[in-house]
A and B are shown apart, each in its own frame.
Chain A
Amino acid sequence: GQQLNQSPQSMFIQEGEDVSMNCTSSSIFNTWLWYKQDPGEGPVLLIALYKAGELTSNGRLTAQFGITRKDSFLNISASIPSDVGIYFCAGQSRSGGSNYKLTFGKGTLLTVNP
């Protein structure tokens, strides 16, 4: 099946620093999404990207849909302690009737030191 390579696996940063994480795939996706999972909670959607080359911001978060449609990155600027959690990328392909399934990356565990 489709696989996503998400990196880094974990990050330990100081409050105020910027963060960057990315996902790559051997397959093309029509939609890229970034979710965040707070400790003890389920994932919550942060940003959704629908077009190759699209750059979208949500507050301190910025994400881009790669031109090749096989990658995406997420940046967090001026990190704060509540940014702690696991960040997942997810790709959605609409081919073959699979438009209701997402493929998730393995996650990036972010720790922010106050």
Chain B
Amino acid sequence: NAGVTQTPKFRILKIGQSMTLQCTQDMNHNYMYWYRQDPGMGLKLIYYSVGAGITDKGEVPNGYNVSRSTTEDFPLRLELAAPSQTSVYFCASSYLVSDTGELFFGEGSRLTVL
């Protein structure tokens, strides 16, 4: 049982380049999320989705885009990479009725923008 799978695990980008972080889950969860983690700053929500075809902004959406064409996949796109987007990115998913608050996280994608 793979859970939440993120690719790539590491990536170095030049300023202005674009890339997509991939996320897929095999638990049939409706809710999916993208967080970024900066040292000493905890987890900040970038975008989330409550189901296929539905996405919404979190706390820090600027510079990112998402799509949710299937239940399983929730890619995060950076259009014009900036040094401020250097961070570790985590994808997570949860059940439709998320009253438990339990998010299942991927292993993270470490992105460096130079």
Contact = CB atoms under 8 A, between A and B. Distances in A.
A12 B2 CA distance: 34
Which 8 A/B pairs are nearest by Cβ-Cβ distance? A42-B105, A106-B42, A104-B43, A92-B101, A104-B42, A33-B101, A31-B101, A45-B102
Interface residues of B, number: 26
A48 B103 CA distance: 11
Contacts of B108: 40-42
Given A104-B43, A107-B42, A99 B59 contact: no
A25 B100 CA distance: 19
A102 B41 contact: no
Contacts, number: 60
B45 A101 contact: yes
A31 B99 contact: yes
Which of the listed residues A9, A41, A102, A106 has the most CB atoms from chain B within 10 Å of its own CB? A102
A36 to B, nearest CB: 11
Contacts of B42: 4, 6, 88, 104-107
B90 A42 contact: yes
Interface size class of A (residues with CB under 8 A): 20 to 34
Interface in A83-97: 88, 90, 92, 94
B71 to A, nearest CB: 15
A43 B98 contact: no
A37 to B, nearest CB: 8
Given A33-B101, A101-B58, A42 B40 contact: no
Interface string A58-90: 000000000000000000000000000000101
16 contacts: A31-B100, A31-B101, A33-B102, A41-B107, A43-B103, A44-B105, A48-B101, A88-B42, A92-B101, A100-B50, A100-B98, A102-B45, A102-B103, A104-B35, A104-B43, A107-B42
